[in-house]
């Protein structure tokens, strides 16, 4: 199967990596819109335009399904995109919401971009949910500054100490997992892993992974190496 995946930048590569681990024998086409990041504080009209550009690009690569590997687009534009396109589109947040409704955790933290948190998509009636916008994390991650800025990151997350779980509600954030686990006593929830476990993709015999970005720099290339240990082509 040809699987199209997109995000504003490196975040969706975390999702791609979860999918490849679970379904290695497929053709993956990734688009990261690095020229237009961050998406997290953009208005819906702009987000829709950028998402349509990404989807049209993936369609030109003849993908069979599309995965929105971006919390911001998923929380603000999923219904519009589903109605506009005939192709099967999966969003990154719904599987995590289903998981949260069923899980045993009571006190759950959610961190995400401004527009994801403002959408209130993570409000779940039978749980105690604390949501926080953490927009500074995306540029820190994209610019490869996690080590330099670790005190600031930990400080922003201190409210979640001893929570049952912390949802990484932006797909960039799994790159902070090690730091969070070392410094905050909380289990992290990775939306990419939950998505990969919740969808059913047939494995076929062809194996490939092509990544396209609207802008490429050294930080991006270094980050891709940190996440993907498989063979891939960057264009
Ligand atoms: N990784 C995306 C998300 O999950 C976008 C982050 C951004 O570009 O601000 O929301």
- Measured in angstroms, how far is the CA atom of residue 205 from the centroid of ligand 1? 32
DSSP classification of residue 61 = T
Tell me the best of 18, 133, 170 to mutate to test the pocket of ligand 1, counting ligand atoms within 8 Å of each CB and taking the most: 170
Residues 116 and 186 in one domain: yes
- Residue 220: both structure tokens together: 């991006």
Residue 7 main-chain phi, psi, to 5 deg: -160, 180
| Catalytic residue list contains 77 | no
169 lines ligand 1 (CB under 6 A): no
Over 90: is that where the pLDDT of 204 sits?
Answer: no
- Measured in angstroms, how far is the CA atom of residue 104 from the centroid of ligand 1? 27
Residues 172 and 86 in one domain: no
Quote the pTM value: 0.97
37 lines ligand 1 (CB under 6 A): yes
Percent of the chain with pLDDT over 90: 92
Residues 98 and 183 in one domain: yes
Based on the structure, what is the number of domains in the chain?
A: 2
| Catalytic residue list contains 52 | no
- The reported pLDDT for the residue numbered 235 is 79
| Higher-scoring residue by pLDDT: 230, 228 | 228
DSSP classification of residue 34 = G
Per the CB < 8 A criterion, the answer to whether 75 and 115 are in contact is yes
Domain membership of residue 39 as a residue range? 2-91+194-234
pLDDT tens profile 108-140: 999 999 999 999 999 998 899 999 999 999 999
Mean pLDDT for 156-178 is: 96
Residue with tokens 């916008």: 133
């Amino acid at each position: 199967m040809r699987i199209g995946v997109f995000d504003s930048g490196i975040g969706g590569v975390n999702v791609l990596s979860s999918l490849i681990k679970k379904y290695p024998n497929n053709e993956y086409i990734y688009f990261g819109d690095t020229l237009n990041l961050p998406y997290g504080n953009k208005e819906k009209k702009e987000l829709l335009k950028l998402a349509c550009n990404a989807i049209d690009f993936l369609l030109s690569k003849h993908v069979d399904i599309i995965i929105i590997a971006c919390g911001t687009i998923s929380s603000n534009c999923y219904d519009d995109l589903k109605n506009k396109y005939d192709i099967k589109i999966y969003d990154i947040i719904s599987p995590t919401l289903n998981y949260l409704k069923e899980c045993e955790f009571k006190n759950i933290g959610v961190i995400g971009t401004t527009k994801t948190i403002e959408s209130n998509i993570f409000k779940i009636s039978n749980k105690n949910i604390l949501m926080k916008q953490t927009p500074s994390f995306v540029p820190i991650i994209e610019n490869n500054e996690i080590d330099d800025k670790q005190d600031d990151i930990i400080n922003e997350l201190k409210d979640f100490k001893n929570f049952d779980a912390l949802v990484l509600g932006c797909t960039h954030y799994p790159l902070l997992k090690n730091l969070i686990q070392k410094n905050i006593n909380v289990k992290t929830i990775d939306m990419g892993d939950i998505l990969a476990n919740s969808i059913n993709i047939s494995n076929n015999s062809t194996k490939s992974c092509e990544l396209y970005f609207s802008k490429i720099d050294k930080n991006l290339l270094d980050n891709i190496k940190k996440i993907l240990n498989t063979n891939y082509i960057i264009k």
